[in-house]
A = this chain, B = another copy of it.
Amino acid sequence: MRGKLYGIGVGPGDPELLTIKAIKTIKDCHVIAVPSAQNNDRAAFYVVEEYLENKPLISCLFSMEKDEEKRKELRIKVADDICSLLEEGKSVGFITLGDPSIYSTYMYVHKIALKRGFETEIIPGITSFTAVAALLNDSLCEGDEILHIIPASHHEDIEELLELQGNKIIMKSGKSLNKVLEILDKKGLSHKTKIVERCGMEGQRVFNNIEEFEKAEGVGYFTIAIVKE
């Protein structure tokens, strides 16, 4: 019998934000697939480390390069490795930060495995943005408010997007975030913008407006901005 692939959301970084179902699934899988990338510190691994019990791991290297071909190549390599294990009858749990349905690299592997006829299941996780809201002790949307989740990398029409009625979450920030913050600042929204780096992880930082953020140094990949009307 062929094995099944599980995409397991492990939440934003705090091991206490793992669900019972994620822990059970990790314990039940034969092999755990751990994503890593050139600029990434295997954050998902540290979240689940205490539940791994010497289980076999497979390291999944993804590329952060701009070259789409190179990125695709590595994704197929990862999917091939995982599908070989599934073919051998092993169940594979692919751990991913946050929730697998929200901007996760896991979905590339999921879709390839589905296409090849393997069974797959998604285990939801706490998304980074609700963890950020919890940290800020505030809501994201109430009553009739609309909430827009916008990748900072969405360049072409970012100005238009930032003008939409409703609250906004700027995701997957990295370098593109600076451009978004510049626009928000020009619009006079500095004090309606809060920025959180590495929420729930070591080195967590909160910036209560754009000025505070600009004074800080070395802001990295796991950064989210929330703009409330």
Q: Nearest 5 A-B pairs (CB), nearest first?
A: A101-B133, A122-B134, A16-B21, A147-B149, A99-B130
Q: Which one of A34-42, A135-143, A186-194 is at the interface?
A: A135-143
Size range of the chain A interface in the assembly: 35 or more
A102 within 8 A of B: yes
Q: B149 and A100: CB pair below 8 A?
A: no
Q: Among the listed B19, B121, B138, B140, which residue makes an inter-chain contact with A137, where contact means beta carbons less than 8 Å apart?
A: B121
Whether the Cβ atoms of A101 and B140 lie closer than 8 Å is yes
Known: A130-B124, A147-B149. Is A16-B20 also a contact (CB below 8 A)? yes
Q: Is A150 an interface residue (CB 8 A)?
A: yes
A215 contacts B by Cβ under 8 Å: no
Contact A100 B139 (CB under 8 A): yes
CB of B151 within 8 A of CB of A148, answer no
